[in-house]
């Protein structure tokens, strides 16, 4: 059996008395799009920051491509990439300049050609010479995605990639997400508050609440188990009540 691309084992993060991530374990298969869902403060971003090596876990382990992140962070990060709605590329550089800088950091071969490819893929090739700070929110998000795709990452972390996008651009981003999985075989960890995104894009969902995994499964499995019509209504039920915690720990195995 193929080893998981990402293996998170009993992950805990404490900031003083606060425990935003509290014993999280899951694994991701190669080529899988895994949704990480949860209300604000559920621990998603802290978990992603730990997987990126920006935050050190208090305890637990993270293995990426079968290697220990704590020991081989740089070698692992070369094969990963990341895009978040909360980060931007320097606004005073031109689009091609920003992509050149990150392409060199990730040691992308045939960089000029690759830059053209990702700009074409995200349909912003015409913006190549534009100053990044003058782009619209949608164009800026797509530029961030271009940066995240430059090195054809085997593991891609997308943190709310469609936040603040209009439905048309959000649809394009979802389609690109699925396309890169199909073409490059990338595994994608995807967080979003947009339930439509998650239902459309993700093969499997991890639902986090107060630092713990409440349940995992496909959207259908989860809706069927909790007898809800939509992930959105389930999301609201979890966020407002917490009664779901007694309804069942897991629809399917966490891995």
- Strand 6-15 relative to strand 59-64, pairing: antiparallel
Q: What's the CA gap between 100 and 58, in Å, rounded?
A: 36
Binding residue for another protein (CB under 8 A) from 52, 95, 99, 206?
A: 52
Are 36 and 44 contacting, i.e. CB atoms less than 8 angstroms apart? yes
User: Least distance (Å) from another protein to the CB of residue 225?
Assistant: 34
Q: Which of 7, 34, 43, 45 binds another protein (CB under 8 A)?
A: 45
| Angle at 4 (CA atoms; ends 223, 53), nearest 5 degrees | 95
- What is the DSSP-derived secondary structure letter of residue 32? -
User: Which two three-digit tokens encode residue 197?
Assistant: 């995104």
Report the greatest alpha carbon distance in the chain: 55
- Whichever of 65 and 102 has its CB closer to another protein, that residue is 102
Contact between 107 and another protein (CB under 8 A)? yes
Token digits of residue 51: 């997987």
Task: Write down the least CB distance from residue 18 to another protein, Å.
Answer: 10
What part of residues 133-172 is at the interface with another protein (CB under 8 A)?
Answer: 147
First to last CA, the chain: 13
Among 3, 10, 56, 123, binds another protein (CB under 8 A): 56
Site string for another protein, 84-103 (x = CB under 8 A): x-xxxxxxxxx--x--xxxx
Instruction: Choose between 160 and 219: whose C-beta lies nearer to another protein.
Output: 160
CB nearer to another protein: give 81 or 192.
81
How many Cα atoms occupy the beta-carbon half-sphere of 27 within 13 Å? 14
| CB nearer to another protein: pick between 94 and 212 | 94
Which two tokens mark 165?
């996008």
Q: Does 218 bind another protein (CB under 8 A)?
A: no
Which residue, 62 or 234, is less far from another protein as judged by CB?
Answer: 62
The answer to whether 54 contacts another protein (rule: CB under 8 A) is: yes
Contact 181, 31 (CB under 8 A): yes
> Which residues sit at the interface with another protein, rule CB under 8 A?
13, 15, 45-46, 49, 52-56, 74-75, 77-78, 82, 84, 86-94, 97, 100-107, 131, 147
């Amino acid at each position: 059996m193929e080893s998981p691309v990402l293996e998170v084992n009993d992950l805990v993060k404490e900031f003083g008395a606060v425990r935003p991530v509290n014993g999280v374990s899951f694994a991701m298969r190669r080529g899988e799009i895994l949704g990480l869902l949860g209300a604000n403060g559920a621990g998603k971003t802290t978990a992603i920051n730990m997987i990126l090596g920006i935050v050190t876990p208090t305890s637990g382990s993270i293995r990426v491509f079968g290697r220990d992140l704590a020991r081989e962070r740089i070698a692992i990060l070369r094969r990963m990439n990341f895009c978040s709605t909360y980060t931007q590329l320097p606004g005073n550089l031109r689009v091609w300049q920003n992509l050149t800088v990150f392409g060199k950091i990730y040691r992308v071969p045939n960089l000029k050609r690759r830059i053209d490819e990702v700009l074409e893929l995200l349909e912003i090739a015409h913006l190549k010479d534009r100053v990044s700070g003058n782009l619209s929110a949608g164009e800026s998000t797509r530029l961030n995605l271009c940066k995240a795709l430059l090195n054809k990452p085997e593991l891609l972390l997308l943190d709310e990639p469609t936040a603040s996008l209009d439905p048309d651009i959000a649809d394009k981003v979802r389609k690109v997400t699925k396309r890169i999985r199909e073409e490059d075989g990338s595994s994608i960890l995807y967080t979003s508050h947009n339930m439509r995104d998650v239902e459309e894009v993700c093969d499997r969902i991890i639902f986090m609440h107060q630092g713990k995994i409440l349940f995992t499964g496909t959207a259908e499995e989860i809706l069927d188990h909790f007898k809800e019509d939509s992930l959105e209504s389930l999301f609201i039920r979890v966020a407002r009540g917490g009664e779901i915690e007694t309804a069942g720990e897991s629809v399917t195995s966490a891995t």
